[in-house]
Structure 1
Amino acid sequence: MTTTTTTPAPPATAPARRPGPVTLGLRQGRLEITQFLRSRESVVFTMGFPVIMIVIFASIFGDQIAPGVSYTQYFITGMIATGLMTVSFQNLGIWIPMERDRGVLKRYRGTPMPKWVWFAGKVLMVVAIGVAETVLLLAVSVAMFDLALPGTAAKWLTFGWVSVLGVTACTLCGIAISSLARTARGGPAVVTPVALVLQFISGVFFVFTELPSWMQQVAALFPLKWMCQGLRAVFLPESFGAREPGGSFELDRVALVLVAWCVIGLVLCLTTFRWTTKRDG
C-alpha cells in the first residue's frame, strides 16, 4: 500500500501596493532637490547671488530714501522678490530646455508615470529652494543690516500670500518660456535678459518712483514689480506707502495682478509646453 503526500501550495503573495499620488509627488520632489544640490554652480548662483548683491549695494549706498527707511532696507525687499523669481522663472526657463535637449523629457513621457508628477517635482523643488533662499536672505539682512522683521501676524500673512502668488506666477511663466528655447544653449539666452530687464525696471536696484514714467508703466505689466511692492508693505513702514505710485501699497491690486499672472502662466503652459525638441517630432 502506497501513500501519497501532497505538497502544500505556497501562500499567495499580496500584490505590491502602488504608491499614492502624494508619495509619487514627494519622491519626484526629493529627486529634483537632490539634482539641484548636486549642481554646485546652480546652488552658488541661486543662493549666493542675492546675498552678494545686498552686501555690494549696502556698501555703496548708505543714505536714507525716506525718514526711517534706508536704501538698504528698500533694496532688501527687492532682492527677496528677485530671489524668488530666480529660483522659479529663471532656473526653470534654463533647466527645462536642457532636459528637453538631452531627451530626458522624451524618455519620461514614455514611462507609465503620470505626467503631473514631473511638474509636481519641479514645484516642490522651487518651493524648497525658495524657502531656504528667503530664510538665508532674511538672516543675513537682520544680522548685518538691521532689517526689522514683520511685527504683526497680518504682515506675516501678507508676506506669505505675496510670496506664494509670486512664486506660482513665476514658476508657471518659467515653464512656459522654456518652450521658446530650441536648444539647451538657447535657454540662458532667452531667459536671462528678460530677468535682468525686469529687475532694472521693477524697483529692485533703484527706487521705483525715480524711474521714468514709461518704464514704470511697462514694469506694471509684469509680476516682479508687484511682488516688490507687496514685500515693501511687509518690511517698510506704513508711511512709506504714500511714496508708491498709487499713493499706497495697493495690496488689493498686488493680489489681483499676481492672480492674473497665475492664470496667464497656466494657460501658456497648457498651450505651449513641449516634451520633445522639434528635431524629435
Structure 2
Amino acid sequence: MTATAPVRDRAHGSPRPAGTPAPRLPGLLRLALARTAWEVRAFTRERDAVVFVFLYPVLMLAIFATVFGRDDEVLAGSGVTFPQYFLPGMVATGVMLSSFQTLAISVAVERDDGTLKRLRATPLPAAGYFLGKTGQVLVTTGAQTALLLLVAALVFDVPLPDDAARWWTFAWVAVLGGAAGAVCGVAFSSVPRSGRSVTAVVTPVVLVLQFISGVFFRFDELPSWMQQVAGLFPLKWLVQGMRSVFLPDEAQVLEPSGSWQHGLTAAVLAAWLVAGLLVGVRTFRWRRRDDG
C-alpha cells in the first residue's frame, strides 16, 4: 500500500491530507473589511501621498483666503466670503484626489510591479479587492474632509451647516461622487502604458478638470463654452453639490442655472458611476500589456 500524498492548501500554503475538504473562505464582507484595513495601512505608509492628499486642499484654501481676503465678499451684499465660496471646491477636490487620482495611480502601479498578477493567483475574489479599494477611498476621504472642515471653521471662520438636511446633502453628494471617482479611477488605470508614466498621465487630467469645474474660480465667471465642457464631467457637479451644502440659499444667484440642481447632480454622478463600472469591467487588466 502506498501513502497518499498530502495536498497543499491554496489558502494557507500548508499541507493537508488528501481527501480533506478545503477550508471555507471568509465571507465577502469580512474579506472586504480585511482588505480595506490592509489598503489603509499601505496608503499611510506612502508618506508623500498622504501629505499631498491631506494637505493639498488645506493649502489651496489658505492660498485663496490670503489672496482674495478672508472677509471680502464674492459678490457685494451676498454675505459669502471667498474662503466660504472656495471651501466646497476644496472639499470636492479632496474627494477626487482620494478616489479618482489615488486609485488610477495605485492600481496602475500594482499592475506594473506584478502585485495584481500575484493577487489574481490567490483565493481573494476580485470583488474583495475592489471593495477594499473602495473602503480605503471612503476612509481617507472622510479623514481628509474632516481635517479640511476643521481648519476652515477654526482658522478662516467659515460657517458650517447647522441643519440635518444640508448634512444629508453633503453625505449623498460625497458618497456618490467618491464612488464615481473610484470606479472611474480603476477604469482609467488601464490607460497609462506603465506604472512609471501613470502620474504624468493622470495629473494633467485632474488639473484641467479643477480649472474648468469652478474649483479655482467662480464658475459663473468662466466662459460659457468652458461651463458646457465642465458639465460633461462629474467634478463640476460634485463642486456644485458641495456649494449647496456650505453656501446660503441666496447664493444660488451665483449659479448659471440659478438653482442648485440636486436632481441633475445626482443623475450625472450616478451616470458616471455606471459608466465607470461598465468601462472598468471591459478594460481592466490584471497583467501588464507585455505580460500576455
The bucket for the TM-score relative to the shorter chain is over 0.9
- Structure 1 unmatched runs, 5+: 1-12
Structure 2 residue 45 is the aligned partner of structure 1 residue 38: yes
Structure 1 residue 54: Cα displacement? 1.1
Which of 85, 88, 103 is 2:99 aligned to? 88
Deviations 1:11-68 (A, max 9, x none): xx99856422221111111110000001110110111111111111111111211221
Q: Which residue of 1 aligns with 2:202?
A: 191
* Equivalent of residue 60 in structure 2, options 50, 53, 57: 53
- Rounded to whole Å, the distance in 1 between the matches of 2:227 and 2:144 is 27
Q: Tell me the amino acid that sits aligned with residue 64 of structure 1.
A: E
Which moves more between the two structures, 60-69 or 82-91? 60-69
Residue type of the alignment partner of 1:21 = L
| TM-score of the two chains, using structure 2 as the length reference | 0.90
The 1-side partners of 2:136 and 2:50 are apart by: 12
CA–CA distance in structure 2, aligned partners of residues 17 and 259 of structure 1: 35
Q: How does 1:238-277 map to 2 (within 5 A)?
A: 238-277=249-288
Alignment-derived partner of residue 14 in structure 2: none
Q: Percent identity of the aligned residues?
A: 52
TM superposition score normalised by structure 1? 0.93
Counterpart in the other structure of 2:15: none
2:52 is the alignment partner of 1:64: no
* 1:223 maps to 2:212: no
The change in CA–CA distance for 1:159 and 1:272 in structure 2 (over 3 A counts) is: same
Instruction: Tell me the equivalent position of 2:186.
Output: 175
Cα distance in 2 for partners of 1:110, 1:14 equals: 20
| Alignment RMSD (CA, Å) | 1.4
The amino acid across from 2:110 in the alignment is: E
Question: What is the rounded CA distance, in whole Å, between the counterparts of 1:86 and 1:32 in structure 2?
Answer: 16
1:127 and 2:138 are equivalent in the alignment: yes
Which residue of 215, 218, 241 corresponds with 1:204?
215
1:108 corresponds in structure 2 to 119
**Partner SS, residue 34 of structure 1:** helix
**Structure 1, residues 140-168: CA drift from partner, whole Å, max 9, x if none?**
00001111111211111101110011001
Amino acid paired to 1:165 = L
* 1:147 pairs with 2:158: yes
Cα distance, 1:71 vs. partner? 1.3
Find the aligned partners of 1:54 and 1:150 in 2 and give their Cα distance. Answer: 18
Moved over 4 A (4+): 13-17
SS in 2 for 1:259: helix
Counterpart CA distance in 1 for 2:217 and 2:247 is 16
* AA matched with 1:221: L
| Alignment coverage as a number of residue pairs | 269
The unaligned stretches of length 5 or more in structure 2 are 1-19
| Residue matched to 1:19 | 26
Change (3 A) 1:101 1:15: closer
